[in-house]
Amino acid sequence: MDADSARRQRTVTNEAESYPTRRLLPLRDAVGLHAGTSRIVAARRQGTAVEAAFELNAFMAAPYAKLTEALLGQNQIAHFRDGDELIIYGSGAERFADMLHADLRRPMAEGLLNPRERRALPVLQALFTSLIPRSKPRGEILAFSVPAAAPGRETALKHHEATLKELFQGMGYGSVAVNEGLAVVLSELEDDNLTGIGISCGAGMCNATLALLSIPVVMVGILGGGDHIDAAVGAVINEHASRVKLMKEEGGVDLTRPPGDTFERALRIYYEELVNTLVDGLRRALAATGTSSRVDRGVPIVLAGGTATARGFRDLFERALEDRPLPLQVSSIRLASEPLTATARGVMAAATYAG
Ligand SMILES: Nc1ncnc2c1ncn2[C@@H]1O[C@H](COP(=O)(O)OP(=O)(O)O)[C@@H](O)[C@H]1O
Ligand SMILES: [Mg+2]
């Protein structure tokens, strides 16, 4: 070890020992928003508790008719009129699309604004407005999650982030973007001095971030997640991806037992592929930044996101690590205490301390 990295290590160790983890007090009430490919989750501090709410990040369009509009209103299904169409969004859209055998559309794809969806912005705005109030007084801080850029997506990420900031500004909020993997660290690793690897596996992407004392050091974005699994399994069993999604979510996914049929076998294959790709990406990024010399003890890994809630996901991840060891020591691997809201909670924590 050279003198420089020895000094760095010492510094990190000293900071860790004096870091007042348990005495951090929130500076302000704040709102955190996780804009995921399939769900938008908002978290707010209410007194000492944190309240989380979510909406499906999806919509469908139907031809405008007064009668349909009245029906939607009576049934309290979120909608707005856009020209000669009615846009039905959020969880209500899923029910409606299923009844009408219509396609659900998505404002986002693979973690970012969906470039093929011209209605993306008005729908996102409606979804955000339904989950969080307008800021009063003007300029309250809202923090929102952004994925790490997958290779080749750097400019698209810039556009995504800037566009969301504009939307939040329109709602009266000053906003800060928080990396998604870091958000998992912030919500789950307070007892570890906000040091470790936070991973979020959602619908469109998997994000992984190594943070040292709350500072993100390595951020990895992998294309692929639940949506990719749905499409791949659907192709094998000749079903629509949306059907596979429902089968997964309603039946639950159990990766701990041997697959019993073609559906389960396909699920296992694509879950394994996803986890291996994620671990490979993380391993390469850690090796490329030479982080191991800055970490002198084992780091914990926390897994969050809807895709990580499959039974046995943690074990699958652990096995992938055995075949593909990371260039640093791992002290533990666990599932987040609340995998579906971990990112939003962490983002809210970041908003709490934003200046
Ligand atoms: N019980 C479940 N079992 C397996 N997969 C699930 C379950 N619940 C949700 N998912 C999957 O998790 C993904 C959504 O996770 P989420 O973290 O909300 O994603 P995002 O943040 O990308 O919107 C979807 O692919 C969904 O099908
Ligand atoms: Mg997510």
CATH number reported for the structural domain that contains residue 35 in this entry: 3.30.420.40
**pLDDT computed for residue 5 by the predictor:** 45
Residue 344 has pLDDT above 60, yes or no: yes
Dmax (CA) of the chain: 76
Q: Which atom of ligand 1 is nearest to the CA of 201?
A: 17
Q: What percent of the chain has pLDDT over 90?
A: 75
Pairing of strands 79-82, 85-89: antiparallel
Q: By residue range, what is the domain housing residue 250?
A: 29-57+106-353
Is residue 2 in a domain?
Answer: no
In the 8-state DSSP scheme, what is residue 102? P
Residue 26 has pLDDT above 90, yes or no: no
CB 40 within 8 A of CB 131: yes
Taking ligand 2, which is a single-atom ion, which protein residues have CB atoms under 5 Å away?
36, 202
Which tokens is 342 given? 């971990």
233, amino acid identity: V
CB 209 within 8 A of CB 221: no
Place of tokens 């996914």: 253
**pLDDT computed for residue 29 by the predictor:** 67
Is residue 10 in a domain?
Answer: no
Top mutation candidate among 38, 242, 264 for ligand 1, by most atoms within 8 Å of CB? 38
Report the SS3 class of residue 158.
helix
What separation in Å is there between the alpha carbon of 174 and the centre of ligand 1? 29
Is residue 86 in a domain?
Answer: no
Residue 15 has pLDDT above 50, yes or no: no
Is residue 65 in a domain?
Answer: no
Is residue 38 in a domain?
Answer: yes
Number of domains composing the chain: 1
Identify the bridge partners of residue 53 per DSSP, sorted by sequence position.
42
Is residue 74 in a domain?
Answer: no
- How many contiguous H segments (helices) and E segments (strands) does the chain have? 11, 15
> Bigger pLDDT: 133 or 312?
312
Top mutation candidate among 248, 268, 347 for ligand 1, by most atoms within 8 Å of CB? 248
Is residue 316 in a domain?
Answer: yes
Instruction: Look over the chain and give the mean of its residue pLDDT values, rounded to a whole number.
Output: 89
Is residue 200 in a domain?
Answer: yes
